[in-house]
């Protein structure tokens, strides 16, 4: 670690000789996934990787290079220098912050976890779910990981922290003739948990609700999105639209609508990078701007957009600490954890309220349409028909289409129990009055 730190400081120093400002961002990750296929232990892996990103301001422009694995300091500096003449104008300064509020994102229990324990955990999960449905074929992944992050810039800014990661994923398949039922869910956070019951319970509920199939007639009908349904159908367009970059480019439908009531007044939504043990949390973003909670929608009104340093400077705003690093790209505005505030609705009451309708648990291909406009459309991979206040079975050959801004303009109820989906979305159930549903005759 110390050796690597010295190398990074040498890189910063070397870059500093050829640039007005320089910034080095390094992440070292150790991951250990255990995979089960078709109920059987299949593969145990370990992955180590280190990525170093160098960003410089040279003759007023941003140069950028990324290195993974063996390569010397000068190669990276040369590559960044080569790109600088073509880069965007350097219109901001790197923050000189050194002290950040403490955010808990490391659980010492995660690195202590042995491969054997992970194998046992996966086996237990499969056994629990198959106790309910013996013929189910489960693919299970149990993964632990730790990352250490180091950020340093030529203006004296410096941040460094450790993150842990633990996730359990189950995908189950039940084949009967040419009919395939797919169920599944996952759980991930920075913290180790030896309790697989909540995950097993959710999958068993899916199996229970999908026991029989029910025919649905096409048309407009009320729809309940479960938390998984909300995440698979509605959130990706919103994530894109709240990016300050999309707003600046005019590619967001929310451009020019700050302060306007665009959504149902029941809807409140925020981004929060300060939550303890959440995958999106960190003391600062990928540029050294301290993390914060950013209201995005307050009682239906558009409250803020997300900014990194460069976009903020272009838009005449302040960075919201949302400069996220993805792969070998420059930081760009992005979410940390997206949270929809819980409402007062109970799932049972929502179902009880519907004469003819649909519960959407998993939408397939929800993100393949014109996302920028908020359009979504896809196959209901897992969904249930509601008849006279009861779930009567799983639907097949069913497709829903809609627009996020229309759907979230009028919500009948928001569920009172939110849960984490994919480790970065905290979402409750949403009950919408009407959505267009197409089915096969």
Planar angle of CA 323, 327, 331, nearest 5 degrees: 20
Q: Cβ closer to another protein: 331 or 428?
A: 331
User: Which position among 9, 27, 173, 301 is part of the footprint of another protein (CB under 8 A)?
Assistant: 173
Residues 6+ apart with CB under 8 A from 331: 285, 286, 287, 308, 309, 310, 323, 324, 325
What's the closest the beta carbon of residue 156 comes to another protein, in angstroms?
25
Dig out the tokens for 424 from the structure: 């970065």
Restricting to residues 104-163, which ones interact with another protein according to CB under 8 A? 115-116, 119, 135, 137
Q: Cβ closer to another protein: 109 or 369?
A: 369
DSSP 338-351: EEEPP-SB-HHHHH
Does 68 engage in binding with another protein (CB under 8 A)?
A: yes
Restricting to residues 325-344, which ones interact with another protein according to CB under 8 A? 328-330
Q: Cβ closer to another protein: 115 or 204?
A: 115
Does 182 engage in binding with another protein (CB under 8 A)?
A: yes
What's the closest the beta carbon of residue 441 comes to another protein, in angstroms?
6
Restricting to residues 399-428, which ones interact with another protein according to CB under 8 A? 399-401
Restricting to residues 372-391, which ones interact with another protein according to CB under 8 A? 372-373, 375, 377-379, 381
- Span from 60-68, 281-289, 301-309, 351-359 in contact with another protein (CB under 8 A): 60-68
Burial class (CB in 10 A: 0-12, 13-18, 19+), 408: buried
Evaluated on CA atoms 72, 75, 76, 78, the torsion sign reads positive
Does 217 engage in binding with another protein (CB under 8 A)?
A: no
User: Which position among 9, 27, 41, 207 is part of the footprint of another protein (CB under 8 A)?
Assistant: 41
At residue 337, what are phi and psi to the nearest 5 degrees?
Answer: -115, 130
Evaluated on CA atoms 287, 166, 108, 30, the torsion sign reads negative
User: Which position among 59, 104, 179, 417 is part of the footprint of another protein (CB under 8 A)?
Assistant: 179
User: Which position among 369, 392, 409, 422 is part of the footprint of another protein (CB under 8 A)?
Assistant: 369
Q: In what order do the strands lie in the sheet with 338-340?
A: 301-302, 293-298, 269-272, 338-340, 425-427, 419-421
- The answer to whether the beta carbons of residues 291 and 336 sit under 8 Å apart is yes
What's the closest the beta carbon of residue 134 comes to another protein, in angstroms?
13
DSSP letter at 327?
A: T
């Amino acid at each position: 670690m110390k050796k690597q730190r010295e190398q990074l400081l040498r890189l910063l120093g070397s870059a500093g000789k050829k640039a007005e400002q320089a910034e080095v961002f390094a992440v070292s990750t150790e991951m250990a996934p255990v995979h089960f296929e078709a109920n059987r232990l299949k593969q145990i892996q370990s992955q180590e990787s280190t990525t170093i990103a160098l960003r410089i301001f040279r003759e007023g422009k941003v140069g950028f290079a990324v290195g993974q694995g063996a390569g010397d300091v000068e190669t990276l500096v040369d590559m960044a220098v080569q790109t600088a003449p073509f880069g965007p104008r350097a219109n901001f300064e790197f923050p000189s912050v050194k002290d950040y509020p403490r955010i808990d994102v490391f659980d010492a229990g995660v690195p202590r976890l042995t491969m054997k324990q992970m194998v046992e955990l996966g086996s237990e999960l499969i056994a629990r779910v198959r106790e309910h449905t013996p013929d189910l074929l489960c693919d299970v992944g149990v993964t632990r990981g730790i990352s250490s992050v180091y950020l340093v810039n030529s203006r004296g800014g410096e941040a460094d922290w450790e993150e842990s990661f633990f996730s359990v994923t189950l995908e189950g398949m039940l084949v009967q003739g040419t009919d395939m039922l797919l169920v599944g869910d996952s759980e991930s956070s920075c913290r180790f948990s030896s309790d697989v019951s909540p995950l097993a319970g959710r999958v068993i509920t899916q199996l229970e609700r999908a026991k029989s199939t029910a025919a649905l007639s096409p048309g407009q009908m009320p729809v309940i999105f479960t938390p998984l349904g909300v995440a698979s159908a509605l959130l990706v367009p919103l994530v894109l639209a709240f990016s300050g970059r999309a707003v600046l480019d005019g590619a967001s439908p929310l451009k020019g609508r700050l302060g306007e009531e665009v959504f149902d007044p029941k809807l409140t939504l925020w981004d929060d990078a300060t939550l303890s043990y959440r995958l999106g949390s960190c003391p600062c973003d990928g540029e050294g701007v301290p993390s914060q909670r950013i209201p995005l929608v307050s009682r239906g009104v558009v409250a803020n957009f997300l900014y990194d340093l460069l976009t903020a400077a272009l838009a005449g705003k302040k960075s919201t600490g949302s400069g996220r690093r993805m792969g070998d790209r420059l930081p760009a505005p992005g979410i940390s954890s997206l949270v929809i505030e819980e409402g007062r609705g109970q799932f049972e009451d929502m179902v009880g309220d519907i004469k003819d309708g649909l519960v959407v648990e998993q939408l397939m291909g929800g993100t393949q349409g014109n996302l920028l406009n908020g359009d979504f459309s896809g196959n209901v991979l897992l969904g249930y028909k509601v008849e006279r206040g009861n779930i009567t079975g799983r639907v097949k050959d069913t497709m829903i289409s809609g627009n996020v801004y229309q759907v979230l303009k009028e919500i009948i109820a928001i569920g009172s129990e939110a849960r984490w989906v994919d480790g970065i979305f905290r979402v409750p159930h949403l009950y919408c009055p009407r959505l267009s549903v197409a089915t096969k005759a």
